[in-house]
Structure 1
């Protein structure tokens, strides 16, 4: 059975997951211009945000993701989903959805009225996950050079 736990973003297992995620993104990014920016540890510490790691049934880290508070939007306080990633060994098992559901629950508990995220159009599986999870296309809310699509979900 998989489990999800909070983790400092700079803990060894979380950092290893992020290194793998950024490496994979850089390898397939169109034009080879992917900009890797490791998050500051303070970004994912309450009250600013939270970072989680998913462990498989052998307590091995297989996925991660975080939420962080950003500028309020039209519905009020907003949390942004960042660095949602599941290793190849966990894909197709619903683990990405499990992490996203956990982050949504945490955002609600933190008082967020909306959950937003950005992604790249080449990440078709991610786009499908967001659509199935109730996210809808929204206008860009940031200037992320790695993003071509922005999504939001009202939580209230």
Structure 2
């Protein structure tokens, strides 16, 4: 790494610190530094479990305890014993705390809108932000079961279909495919998995149940900003675990020759090529994997 590269990283850090007000003693003019505001924000977004809160924000126990005590003294939160486990504590916003959380949300949204509106190409700026955020939160990306008709699932699927339409020389018409229906992607016959980065979707994959002695893996997609992080392999591994949990012994999938990265992934992870098993007009390669 050259000194110029290091200087570029440090310039980026200074720019983000300044733009976000990280050094302000009164973040967004509300009388508290950024660290305290972040704790209040996390609690407001449902991360009230104190142990989870500490891990999420990367704070040590003593530092978090001081911040929580200060928020309690302001009358913004209360801490209670978790109903299901007396050893765990949960932070809950008071009415005053909820109002303060709403103020922070409104100001933060306004700041974000201002930043985007000042840039001549806000879409490119957002793409850069997504790329950096995915890289910085790589170790905290989670893979979770979701409903195939949820907003996050639809967001991913829309982008999957847009991408293959651009990629395939002949284009892509969803109506011509063996598109799985939502019930086939729900337990106990199937599943739908989302990759989430700090609550935002960055990938998906579906496990489509069938009555033919196998299930199909469908719609594997990773956001461009999160590619190269090994997420496709993680999602395929999680899909296999879910299939085993559902008692599925054989998986099949199809793909197109214009997706060489996907073909390489399947070949490297134990999938065997088989003959065509459907009449979908788009796939050119067909694979199967026996689960043990």
Aligned to 1:17: 156
Residue 62 of structure 1 and its aligned partner are, at CA, apart by 0.5
* CA contact 1:82–1:117 (8 Å) conserved in 2: yes
The CA deviation string for residues 17-59 of structure 1, in whole angstroms up to 9 with x for no partner, is: 0000000100111222x12156432121112311010112x22
**1:107-122 paired onto structure 2 within 5 Å:** 107-122=243-258
Q: Does 1:135 align with 2:271?
A: yes
RMSD: 1.3
TM-score by length of 1: 0.90
* CA contact 2:185–2:209 (8 Å) conserved in 1: no
Structure with the larger helix share:
2
* CA contact 1:9–1:39 (8 Å) conserved in 2: no
* CA contact 2:190–2:207 (8 Å) conserved in 1: yes
Q: Which structure 1 residue ranges, 5 or more long, are not aligned?
A: none
**1:86-101 paired onto structure 2 within 5 Å:** 86-101=222-237
Computing the radius of gyration over CA atoms, which structure comes out larger, 1 or 2?
2
TM-score by length of 2: 0.50
Aligned to 2:182: 41
* Structure 1 segments (4+ residues) deviating >4 Å: none
Deviates more, 1:39-48 or 1:22-31: 39-48
Q: Distance in 1 between matches of 2:205 and 2:249?
A: 19
Deviates more, 1:40-49 or 1:118-127: 40-49
Aligned to 2:71: none
Structure with the larger strand share:
1
Question: How many residues are matched?
Answer: 150
